[in-house]
Amino acid sequence: MDFVEYSSCKNNEKSKLNTCKIGKFTKYILLSTAIVFLSVPNVPVFAQETASPDSGEGSAGTIVVTGQRGGRPRTVAESPAPIDVIKGDQLAAPGRADLSESLSKLLPSINFGFNAGGVYSVVRPIFNRGLGPAYTLVLVNGKRRHNSALFTNGGGDTSGVNPVDLDALPLSSVAYIEVLKDSAAAQYGSDAVAGVINLKMKSQDHGGHISVMAGTLCSCDRNEGDLVTLKAEADIGFKLGDGGFVHVSGDLRKRGMAWNNYRATVLPFSPAANPKNAGFDGRAAQNGDPKIRSYSTSYNAELPTGDTTTLYSYGTFGQRWTVSGNSLRRPNSNANISQIFPNGFFPHSNTAETDYQALIGIKGQIGETRWDLSTTYGRNRVRQYSDRTINASLGPASPTRFDNLATFQFGQWVTNLDLTRGIEIGLPEPLQISAGVEYRVDYFQTFAGDPLGYANGGYIYRPGDQDGNPNVGRPAVATAQGGISLSPADETKLTRGNIAGYLDVSINPVKNWFVGGAVRIEHYDDAAGTTFGYKLNSRYDFTPWLALRGTVGTGFRAPSLTQIGYSQTDSRVQPNPVSGVVEPTYTKLARNDSALARALGAQDLKAEKSTNYGLGIVLRPAPRLNITLDGYQIKVKNRIVRTSPLFGPALANILTANNVPVTAQIIYFANGVDTRSRGFDLVADYSLNVGDGRLGFDAALNYNKIKITRIAAPPAALSNLGPNPGGSLAFLAVGTIGDMSTNLPKMKVVLGAHLSVGRFTINLNETRYGSYRWTRSPLIPNGIPHAARWLTDVDVSARLWKGLRVTAGASNLFGVHPQENGAPDPTTGSSLFLYGQPPFSQMGGFYYGKLSFDF
């Protein structure tokens, strides 16, 4: 692998990346680290193995390690930073929900971007404190998890980053999850701006768990399609050698493709207003949940190899096949050929995906210094295809099935060395020093698909082609409908290396005062360059029941490889930025450094920089009662966003020169805005004994307000294009701004009650999603308001015999939908945007039964 030497890197013009060799900088880090850790006096070092979440009095008594390196083990209630712990059985409780959606149901600071249609509905983004998936680092057993090959383009995040796909992990493998709600960029990586999600895998060396679940969406509330979901999960532990273990897990899942439609009686429109509406019955979309068939497996293992060393490893592997619905291509639209689909069609967006990651490491102790060396590689590969679509520009000769429209691949190789030890200096606790280095290589590649999928066949509609002849003389929309079609010109292959070194120091000047600090330096071997970040963290316990804690830190997020070099061509149904009319549109996402993007004002992307402040109070006024209140502010400069669609006659010469249809809409990535996120998290839990049972209550609230503090000025290249009648040269439209500032609820509340008595367990959760505004159409610049909603989740389980348990439950018990406040398109009646961008599923209630056996 190639390490970094600042003074001896040569530029590779073809890839616009640097190729570097190991040099003085890296050697100095390694040599200095070794001297510090091997020369200081020996003092005991506290182990950092995490106790089971069941080992304490509720979650506050759980031992956690995320957010601190070295030192004595601390509980959630003692943590110097806000952190939540979610047990594996809590994650499985919502039934139909995936891991990412389950987190959003349990933690108010986490929101789930519900994207209802197309290929982008497969990997749905999560938001932590109002910031998208690019700003939260995901770890598995404390090690970085690789990203998905698909990038975000919906669910409230159109930034184009590759999020980590939490749903690719088997839920049966998760013992619990630690969610750090604090900047940790200096400790774990410059992208941990909003926090860290650390999934801890099961590690028992005996016993296991088996469960099967069947459930259905309610069929009484406009839901259509296949409403059934089936799941099977299993895990088992074995002893390995002398004192080791291996724990194996696996999940199977089958979910039907389901959607809910609105009839013309619900959404009145006038077919006479446009001949394209002839025969249209108001069924505008098959947007909802994609069909999923998947399996995923994992193992987690450790083996002591001596008195002071332990080998460890984990791996995951899974495959997933999906079918996503789309908006209707009406019989008389410019995306249909009546000879093929006389009644129009709902195109399918299909994916076939393979995902895996493997890690191997060794940890041990030299003197009193604990060390940990590991390396991991992960890869995600997705092929996109369709079994029901056409490329209308090919005319009646268009095929209706395309087995390969595009393929995406992301890989990541990470190697870490971490060292930690305590140094006795006469204070209440030893001075704790941790340091380490990390080398990471990211790979991203796309592959062109079937030429018939991306071709522009140039078909012109003729008299008699369609009822009413609405499109005679007009060209049909190019590319296969409802999917992403990559041409050889769109293909990209990018590789980037990153080396980082960190130093983390913590001290207790007096008995009840903790002070921690961390610095991190990272170097990317491309234009992102070098960054330095820091974090200061402190906590003071005034009494056993009152503590104050706070944090200040900085972060740095280099442009993702997709934002730097991704290009795609697709045809989608979307609102015209000028008229607001929903129509099929040829859209080109241009690579930032392409001639097309440069002609429209694109510039090299700069890294994003962030500053984070936090201040919190911890209260423990009574036994088993814990209350925390943590306020925060996160500023991000130069956030990378997608431009507004650029189109119209003023672009004709540029589009023609770049072999793009003159009717196309062009988008590229740019450093567009600065943002400021302000809010607070309030968390409380209480438990008590009730006879022979136990009753627990928890409540959590997150308030988050995001303000756009700066909007970049339009580039001169756009301003100089001149008149553009019927088109748009708006650099950043209201939809882009709304995605970051108004589309998420400002306030979210989660209330829970949990009773366990004898053979029975009852869990009740109430979640209030606050109001939000869907801001997409320039015709409604202030956005469309959608009211707050309360959702109820409940499950009741009974132990039948030893480890055999039966459960009945409901997710969204009363079938609550987001408010239907988005106006239908006046000429097509499309209901695509009735819900705006809802923070929870539009599919209503889900009801299930589960049978499980623990042994």
Q: List Cβ neighbours of 14 (8 Å cut-off, separation of 6 or more).
A: none
* Domains of the chain by start residue, with CATH: 40-854 (2.40.170.20)
pLDDT digits 0-9 by tens, 504-532: 999 999 999 999 999 999 999 988 888 89
Over residues 672-697, mean pLDDT: 93
Contact criterion met (CB below 8 Å) for 235 and 250: yes
pTM of the model: 0.88
Which of 95-109, 474-488, 537-551, 661-675 has the highest mean predicted lDDT (pLDDT)?
A: 537-551
pLDDT digits 0-9 by tens, 307-325: 899 999 999 999 999 999 8
Over residues 707-732, mean pLDDT: 90
pLDDT at 819 over 50: yes
Strands 431-448 vs 530-543: parallel, antiparallel or unpaired: unpaired
- The pLDDT value given to residue 111: 86
Over residues 765-785, mean pLDDT: 79
Residue 157, CB-side half-sphere exposure with 13 Å CA sphere:
28
Q: Per-residue confidence at 750, pLDDT binned at 50, 70, 90?
A: very high
Number of residues written out for the chain:
855
- The pLDDT value given to residue 159: 83
Alpha carbons 523 and 496: distance in angstroms, whole number = 11
Alpha carbons 43 and 500: distance in angstroms, whole number = 28
- The pLDDT value given to residue 280: 60
In the numeric block, which tokens belong to residue 595?
A: 């001639």
pLDDT at 729 over 60: yes
Q: Rounded mean pLDDT of the chain?
A: 85
pLDDT digits 0-9 by tens, 358-372: 999 999 999 999 999
Alpha carbons 316 and 145: distance in angstroms, whole number = 11
Alpha carbons 101 and 106: distance in angstroms, whole number = 9
Torsion angle of the four alpha carbons 558, 640, 131, 64, in this order, in degrees rounded to the nearest 10:
0
- The pLDDT value given to residue 580: 57
Over residues 804-830, mean pLDDT: 79
For residue 680, CA distances in Å to 704, 705, 838 come to 7, 10, 22
